[in-house]
Amino acid sequence: MEAQTFGPYALERRLDSGGMAEVFIARRTGPHGFVKRIALKRILPQYARNPEFIKMFVSEARWAAQLEHPNIVQVFDFGEQDGELFLAMELVDGTNVNKLLRITNTQHAAIPVDIILHIVHQSAQALAYAHRACDEAGKPLGIVHRDVSPANLLITRSGHVKLSDFGIVRAAGESTEAEPKQLRGKLGYMSPEQVLGSPLDSKSDVFTLCTVFAELLIAEPLFGVGSDLEILLRIRDADLRVLERSHRKIPSDVMDLLLQGLARRAKERIDSNFLVRELSHLLRRRGAANGPTRLAKYIVQVGLVGATGDFPTIDEAPSRPTELVPLGGYDNDDEDTARMMRQLDAISPAIYELKLQDGHEMGPVSFPKLVELITSGIVDSMTLVAKQGTGFRKAREFTEISRFVTSPAFRWDAEELANATKWGELGEGVLLSVVYQLLSKRETGVLHLRDEQRRKKIYFVDGRADFVVSTDKTELLGEYLITNKLCLRMEIEMALALLPRFGGRLGDALVGLNILRPVQLVRAVTDQVRSRFLEAFRWQAGQWAFVVGARSEEEAFPLGTDPHELLRDALFQVPATQIHSTLATGEFSGKMLLDLGALTASPFDLPDVWISVFRDFQEAAIATEVMQRHGPNTGLDEETIKRVVFFGASCGFLHPQAATPSSAK
């Protein structure tokens, strides 16, 4: 049978198939016996008309064609045959890092450190080149690869490493209109900012390359195994405990560099140029100048390539494929979901009757409604409940609801408050100062907030906000997902109805029913907890109390945000009227002095213009005087300057003149 052709290329055989495309060995012939073998890549037939996959494919052709570097797979040609796009690329005779990891793990072999350093060094060189690439006018392209993973690091037979697959590259200035609606990357090889959907820069690639670096060193995934959700949470928090537990000894200088590349916050992470330089130093100190030769011999030794150049096919453990996950919400009810929800009454009928402690009776109510009543503080463990006409019993005696009514997080009685060690009145923005004190003293416990309409609890662990619960129905997870168009109301109702099958956890139910992807859940819950936390700073009246040592005992989704940054954001939630009142009539209405020592030692990453405002108080001054002379010089409006001064007073940088510590000069 005549070989299939794509443009001027004749296909020999399929070499590989991935999440969206397949790769063939192909050849091009020409006059006088010219033959060139290449790798021809085309979109899988089932995706050949998918606009998003076409966009990714074109992106790969566009960006890879502009990059010419010995450690990047070269693109020769891009074309179309019968409506199908194809990409002609350099044919890499060898293997890849994913196969290397698998075969060495199977053989229980440790890859020599110098070989690992060589692999990562050449990969880092590819990234550093791509990151600093410019267009024809010399303007930086701002390329971020976004998919640095073991399968995309190819190893040639001669022992060189080449970075491939630029299908999901994002460059500076490129439209990001659809970006929040998609997750792109391979699970296990993402940066914290990818998981959270935050803006990405080149340091995201450094994190993912260092994730591969770590896996090569310890011979196991850096962020472990388990459910997608568990892995995503470990990445989000840059949980490096696997490194600590590993029995593989990592040299201290290698570990130091690795940790710099795995910093959770991008601004604290090294860049690719620094990584290249430091890897070069490490290789020189080890006298490892013959990296390509060592790697070439090693891949033969472990059986990844043979003596011939026949491109052996080796069974490869599939890396979790490139995700193209829709993260958008819904504008209209989906017909399939509607059909599913027509069965809801049969799954969760209104079968519960309630007698509240104040004497009121409710019912019949469904299980989802009962859960809502518990989490919003209306029903507690002592509420009398009857099920399907049976006698009334205390709510805690029902298996399906006992988790909710016995959880400390959802209890709103006065028993816990009796153990409070600190308390006071809300108002005049006092909460900012209270939370700053909890943060600076690394307190663990629960902060109770209450007014006439609602109650809220913020759990802290080592000064960080860890878990937030509220009696406000609009702050419940289900309502949050509906309001933000991440789920339909009927989907939330379905998940709530099936909570007993998922251990009473709504998030697990939503993932288990394929209503949300794990990464959607991580982002949504993180945003929801953040929203609940910040909302507390808008309260203008009520009481607060702190109970030391109290724990929620719930599976928490810590905010994953630096607590000092979070507190700075909280400043802009405080009502302007409270700030004006504090600065006009409170203890800070007179002259204030700067505590320079406190400001210098502050862990806050404060804007320079804020610091210049604080320095205007190095000699005693009234806030209004600083505003008058500072505003015209900085461009800050009066409202913002007032907030900055209020922040300084709340966090101990500014003190009433009489109370200023002696360190303030």
Active site residues: 147
Dihedral sign, CA of 62, 66, 72, 78? positive
Q: How many whole angstroms from its chain centre is CA 77?
A: 36
Which residue matches tokens 């502050």?
Answer: 602
- Cβ proximity of 167 and 147 under 8 Å: yes
Per-residue CA distances from 74 to 60, 171, 302, 633 (Å): 11, 19, 27, 52
Say if residues 383 and 395 touch (Cβ distance below 8 Å): yes
Buried b (16+ CB within 10 A) or exposed e, 480-509: bbbeeebbbebbbbbbbbbbeebebebbbb
CA distance 188 to 233: 10
Which residues, including other chains, have CB under 8 Å from residue 519's CB and lie 6 or more apart?
183, 195, 228, 232, 323, 325, 327
Calpha distance 328→516 (Å, rounded): 11
Helix/strand/coil percentages in the chain, nearest 5? 45, 20, 40
Q: Do residues 237 and 229 make contact, with C-beta atoms less than 8 angstroms apart?
A: no
- What's the token pair of residue 365? 């109510």
Are the C-beta atoms of 356 and 362 separated by less than 8 Å?
yes
CB within 8 A of 294, min separation 6: which ones? 112, 114, 115, 118, 159, 288
* Residue-level length of the chain: 665
CA 339 vs CA 342, 396, 492: distances in Å: 5, 34, 14
Angle CA(552)–CA(553)–CA(558) in degrees, nearest 5?
65
DSSP codes joined into one string, 357-389: TTS-EEEEE-HHHHHHHHHTTSS-TTSEEEETT
- Interhelix angle 563-571/638-650, nearest 10 degrees: 130
Q: Which amino acid is at 194?
A: Q
Q: What radius of gyration, in Å, describes the C-alpha atoms of the chain?
A: 30
Q: Give me the half-sphere count of Cα atoms (radius 13 Å) on the Cβ side of residue 415.
A: 9
Longest dimension (CA), the chain: 98
Quote the strand ranges of 509-595, DSSP E: 543-548, 592-594
Strands (E), 453-590: 455-461, 464-470, 543-548
**Strand 455-461 to 464-470 pairing:** antiparallel
Collapsing DSSP to helix, strand or coil, 657 comes out as helix
CA 236 to the chain's CA centroid: 4
Neighbours of 229 (CB within 10 A): 19
Q: What DSSP letter does each residue of 144-168 carry, written as one string?
A: B-----GGGEEEETTS-EEE---TT
The first and second tokens of residue 269, run together, are: 């992470």
